[in-house]
A and B are shown apart, each in its own frame.
Chain A
Amino acid sequence: MSAVITDLSVVEAISRIPDPEVPVISIADLGILRSIEVDEADHRVVVTITPTYSGCPAMEAITSRIVFEADRRGYAADVLTRLSPAWTTDWMSDEGKEALRRFGIAPPGPVTHGHTGPVAVSLQKRVVTCPSCGSDDTTEIAHFGSTACKALRRCESCREPFDEFKAI
């Protein structure tokens, strides 16, 4: 092991790891970091994370970054992936949502429950606010955006296309 870095505590350093796909938000603010248990005596940490979507390809990158950040501070990390309870955008912090908006991604609204019966088809009428000009006059271009967690929209007022983080 090379020199141990002490700028941040191991908990802080892991909490601040950016999401590889959306680097303006940390894994803690995104809500995918579920717990960190530090064993100071053994210099071990057990970190539990949960994927945003079942097939999220960022999980391996996040895991190796956690191991790396822990190792730099002299800790061995065990990273556990837990599916249940399932991640929801309601776990995203207000700071995280604001960071997304500043980055040009419309943050997720509250998750609507009630979507359980047979679904009549409708072109969706959700109000999504444009992250650049603040207009509510936006339309969905595509149901699925550059990653599973985002949809693609366009602002009818300033004409900018933008990503929307889907409420799930």
Chain B
Amino acid sequence: MASATYLLGLADDALIYAQRLGEWMTNAPQIEEDMALGNIALDLLGQARALYPHVGELDGTGRGEDDFAMLRYEREFRNVHLVEQERGDFAQEMARLLWFSAYQVELHRSLSGATDEVVRGVGQKAVKEVRYHLDHAQQWVVRLGDGTDESHRRMQAALDWVAPYVDELFDDDPVSVAAVREGSVGVHSPASLRPAVQHVVELTVSQATLTMPDPPAWRSRGGRDGIHSRPMGYLLAELQHIARSHPGATW
């Protein structure tokens, strides 16, 4: 059942990044950015909420969105390390959002052609939204890169910071490959999405008078197998503690 596992990874990317972006509310440099990042988080949460129950159908467990989001342990989450990293400065967030939203534009455009009706619906809906996320990130990267000496320096440092986490998005892991082979939910393998994403990022970076980082000395791996980095446990503790403290509570 590679299809269900593959979708779970996509849903986990969206949920965990929504949680990270939500932390910007009351912490962004402007109140408008509180709203913007909160809205982007909400769109991502919507993707996750649409996908989780479908994963529960496909894997035959019948689990719902809360079972997936609130009652799984760290090793059961399949998100990439990029989305779980702690919130850095605003430039770091824009560097992460640039890569992630450029990736999601290609991902959801691809999912829009899935034969699975739910996945196709999520893709068609999300592709419109994530283009807007990408536009937002691009505008900030250009504004900061082509801004003052200080903003330029920090935006460049942010691109360098995010670089080791990028490759993991495009790994053709066995589950993704098998899902594409099964054919109903996987359309294009992660690696095949990379050229278009890379092009968009390079275009933006060049317009921002910044340079693409050299290939990083190390790279993250393991997220799709449930092996996470240190910040993930803290994130889950915050995300899940109410649901776990009051099992079955409704309001």
Contact = CB atoms under 8 A, between A and B. Distances in A.
Tell me, yes or no, whether A binds B. Answer: yes
Interface of A: 51, 53-57, 82-88, 115-116, 118-121, 123, 141-148, 152, 166, 168
Given A51-B46, A144-B32, A146-B35, A119 B125 contact: no
A115 B109 CA distance: 12
B121 interface: yes
Interface in B28-42: 32, 35-36, 38-42
Contacts of A142: 32, 35-36
Given A84-B120, A141-B32, A142-B36, A55 B139 contact: no
Interface of B: 32, 35-36, 38-47, 49-50, 109, 117-118, 120-122, 124-126, 128-129, 131-132, 134-136, 138-139, 141-142, 196, 199-200, 203-204, 207
B135 A143 contact: yes
B124 A143 contact: no
B50 A54 contact: yes
Nearest to A141: B32
B138 A144 contact: no
A51 B41 CA distance: 16
A123 B117 contact: no
Interface of B is mostly: helix
Given A121-B204, A121-B207, A142-B36, A55 B124 contact: no
A119 B122 contact: no
Interface pairs A-B: 9 shortest CB-CB: A54-B46, A55-B46, A84-B121, A83-B121, A142-B32, A55-B42, A144-B36, A86-B125, A144-B39
A56 B42 CA distance: 7
Interface of A is mostly: loop
Given A83-B121, A166-B132, 19 more contacts: A51-B46, A54-B43, A54-B50, A57-B42, A82-B121, A84-B121, A84-B125, A86-B121, A87-B125, A119-B135, A119-B200, A120-B207, A121-B139, A144-B39, A145-B35, A147-B39, A148-B42, A148-B43, A168-B129
Contacts of B142: 121
Nearest to A59: B46
A17 to B, nearest CB: 21
Nearest to B146: A121
Q: Which of B43, B125, B134, B141 counts the most chain A CB atoms within 10 A? A: B125
A159 B201 CA distance: 36
A53 B122 CA distance: 11
A53 B207 contact: no
Given A84-B120, A120-B203, A56 B36 contact: no
A158 B49 CA distance: 42
Contacts of A83: 50, 118, 121-122, 124-125
Nearest to A81: B50
